[in-house]
Amino acid sequence: MPSASQIRALIVDDQASIRQVLASHMAALGFKGVVQRKDGKEALDYLETNPIHLVISDFNMPGMDGLALLEAVRSNPKTAKLAFIILTGEANAGLVQKAVAAGVNNFLAKPYTVAKLKETLEKVFGSIR
């Protein structure tokens, strides 16, 4: 329903290469002005003052990990409703369950294709133009 360019997205990953690959894939899908932050703490600082619709975050990061970020986002009324997708390459059922309990919207498994990224996003936002 929304156009991709209207969705304000924030990518959180400690690896610059992963962030940039994802950002370039999202640009290919029509996203504009995708913001990148390198850990949970920086992401929260950004979310404090900037309205964001979508967070795509890595699971395993030093300091505040993806799960802690998700919990912090959901516990703040300002950001509680945004879409949260966890990017992960780990086959760890325990973490997945915790993320589901914390209210994750979807998962994106690494490595992914642009088509898979689009599908993952559409399951959250409906079709993306």
Partner 1 sequence: MGDVMDDILKIFFEECDELLPELERGLGELSAEESSQETINAIFRAVHSIKGGAASFGLDRLVRFAHVYESALDGLRSGKVEPDPAIIKTFFLAMDVLSDLVAEAKHTGDEVDEGRIDENVRKLEAIIGKGGGAPVSSEVGETPVPDDFTPVTVDLGGFDFDEPAEGGGEPPQMLTVTFRPHSDLYSRGDDARNLLMGLKELLPVEEAGAMDVVCHMQDLPALADLPAEDARLGWTVRLPELSSSGIEDEIQAVFDWVGDVCDFQIVRDGQPEGETEPEPVEDTTIQENAPAAPVPVEVVERVAQADSSPPAPAAAPAKVGRKREQNASIRVDIGRIGMLMDMVGEMVIGQASLESALTRDALYDPELLKRLAVIKTLTRDIQEAVMAIRAQPVRNVFQRMQRVVREASSLANKDVALVLEGEETEVDRTLIENLTDPLTHMLRNAVDHGIESPEARQAAGKPTQGTIWLSARHRSGRILIEIRDDGGGINTQRVLQTAIKRGIVASGASLGENEINELIFAPGFSTAETVSDLSGRGVGMDVVKQAIQNLGGRVNIKSTPGKGTLFTLSLPLTLAVLDGMLIECRGSTMVVPVSSVVELVTVQKKDDVYTIPDGSHVVSVRGRCIPLIYLGDELTLPDDGGLQEETHHMGRAGEEGQMIVLVVENEAGARAALVVDGVRDQAQVVIKSIEKNYRQINGVSAATILGDGSVSLILDVSTLIVSATKRVDTRALEAIAERAA
Applying CB under 8 A, among 69, 73, 82, 128 the residue interacting with partner 1 is: 82
Q: Which two tokens stand for residue 108?
A: 């994106």
| Residue 108 Cβ vs partner 1, minimum distance, rounded to whole Å | 9
Helix axes 66-75, 93-101, angle to 10 degrees: 10
Which residues neighbour 11 within 8 Å (Cβ) at sequence distance 6 or greater? 19, 22, 23, 26, 34, 35, 36, 37, 56, 57
Q: Which 52-81 residues touch partner 1, going by CB under 8 A?
A: 53, 60-62, 81
Task: By CB under 8 A, tell whether 115 contacts partner 1.
Answer: no
Instruction: Say how far apart CA 28 and CA 70 lie, in whole Å.
Output: 26
Binding footprint of partner 1 on the chain (CB under 8 A): 1-3, 5-8, 14-18, 20-21, 23-24, 27-28, 32-37, 49-51, 53, 60-62, 81-83, 88-93, 95-97, 100, 103-107, 109-111, 120, 123-126
